[in-house]
Amino acid sequence: MSIRVMLVDDQVLLRTGFRMVLAAQPDMEVVAEAGDGVEALEVLRSTAVDVVLMDVRMPKLDGVETTRRICAEPGAPKVLILTTFDLDEYAFSGLKAGASGFMLKDVPPAELLGAIRSVHSGDAVVAPSTTRRLLDRFSPMLPSSGKEPEHKGLERLTDREREVMMLVAQGLSNGEIAARLVLSEATVKTHVGRILTKLGLRDRVQVVVLAYETGLVRAGGGAL
């Protein structure tokens, strides 16, 4: 029997993309969609779902709280948190809320499909050790008693910064990045600097390490 997947994301375009990818799979089908958490909970009351692909950032009810409510029900579907870059308290709170794992939205489709199957079969897609380490490293402020996550923790990276970070993670110099993005080197330096302070890292070397450890980039990605 195929895996019944539900998509929860406020970006329609992104849902469409995922739906097309999943439609090509013989063992998966998208049986439901929702644009926010409230809608998701509503739909779930009347639809049998195996795996929920859940965005963290949504209007009305965010992914974390939605996940918490979903997982509170007996016989709840598995929840796979999707983030753009994050590594912020949202994603980790999602795990604490009962999600089976989290993934980056820009992973190659094969990765995502594998993750869905893993989650469906009961596995977590993030190694617990990795999670723990990242938690220790990036969230020294978790309330432990699950109140509101207190957004003060990590500052989010902007889209542009994440874009730069991808290139840093591939070993490019500031000059090369500037050329690639058609920018001045000064701008690249500004971005890199902000990335370092936001993530609490020392230099671009640690950026590469972090990128690989978190799966922002992964071995075999063509970096070399």
Partner DNA sequence: GTCCGGATCAACCGTGGGGTCGATCCTTGG
Partner DNA sequence: CCAAGGATCGACCCCACGGTTGATCCGGAC
Q: Which residues bind its own copies (CB under 8 A)?
A: 127, 129-130, 133-134, 137, 168-171, 173, 202-206, 208-210, 212-215, 218-224
The DSSP bridge partners found for residue 4 are 29
Q: Identify what 31 binds: DNA, its own copies, none; CB under 5 to 8 Å per kind.
A: none
189 binds DNA (CB under 7 A): yes
59 binds DNA (CB under 7 A): no
Q: Are 134 and 87 in contact (CB under 8 A)?
A: yes
Task: Give the nearest distance from C-beta 209 to its own copies in angstroms.
Answer: 4
* Cβ nearer to its own copies, comparing 12 with 209: 209
**At residue 175, what is the residue type?**
G
Q: Helix H segments across 105-214?
A: 109-120, 128-138, 159-169, 174-181, 185-199, 204-214
Task: Give the nearest distance from C-beta 222 to its own copies in angstroms.
Answer: 7
161 binds DNA (CB under 7 A): yes
38 binds DNA (CB under 7 A): no
Binding residues among 204-223 for DNA as defined by CB under 7 A: 204-205
Residue 212 structure tokens = 């690989």
Q: How many alpha carbons lie under 13 Å from residue 78 in its C-beta half-sphere?
A: 21
Q: Identify what 222 binds: DNA, its own copies, none; CB under 5 to 8 Å per kind.
A: its own copies
Q: Are 36 and 61 in contact (CB under 8 A)?
A: yes
Q: Identify what 114 binds: DNA, its own copies, none; CB under 5 to 8 Å per kind.
A: none
- For residues 129 and 201, give the distance between their C-alpha atoms in angstroms, rounded to a whole number: 20
